[in-house]
Structure 1
Amino acid sequence: MYDFVIIGGGIIGMSTAMQLIDVYPDARIALLEKESGPACHQTGHNSGVIHAGVYYTPGSLKAQFLPGGEPRHQSLLRSKRHSL
């Protein structure tokens, strides 16, 4: 039995899992991925750019949320909670 089940092992699925671990450290989390490893589908085929939000309509959800992604990305890289 799991508390959360995440479908997809790309950047969104992995980020969601990490956020859930931070908020619910005792939760049992299952991450399901149909490929042989993480980021083998859409995440592994994009340009690899983390957008800053400057090109989006001011006040839109993308413009609001994208600037927060870069500090979280840097935090993830410094945390060593990955195999990169």
Structure 2
Amino acid sequence: TDSGESYDLVVVGGGIVGCATAREMLERHPQLKIAIVEKENDLAKHQTGHNSGVIHAGIYYKPGSMK
């Protein structure tokens, strides 16, 4: 619904990338009014919330596998 609010930037998606994008923009431009639009009732409900919590650089993939 139309809340009547206005924003300088709207980020679509409240996963790790959307939240990181909004945070980085606020770090660089603290004067911006930013909204994050998420279809769920909370942030990180899909892939971000279901990953195994492990970050790796793809060292298990064969060179040239494009993964």
The TM tier, using the shorter chain, reads 0.7 to 0.9
- Greater gyration radius: 2
Gaps of 5+ in 2: 1-5
Count of aligned pairs between the two proteins: 56
Equivalent of residue 20 in structure 2, options 7, 15, 21: 15
Query: In the alignment, is residue 42 of structure 1 matched against residue 43 of structure 2?
Result: no
* Root mean square deviation of aligned Cα: 1.6
**2 CA distance for matches of 1:8 and 1:20?**
15
**Sequence identity (%):** 52
Gaps of 5+ in 1: 58-84
**1 CA distance for matches of 2:7 and 2:23?**
15
Structure (1/2) with the larger helix percentage: 1
Larger RCO, structures 1/2 (Cα 8 Å, 6+ apart): 2
The 4+ residue runs of structure 1 with deviation greater than 6 A are none
Structure 1 length as normaliser, TM-score? 0.59
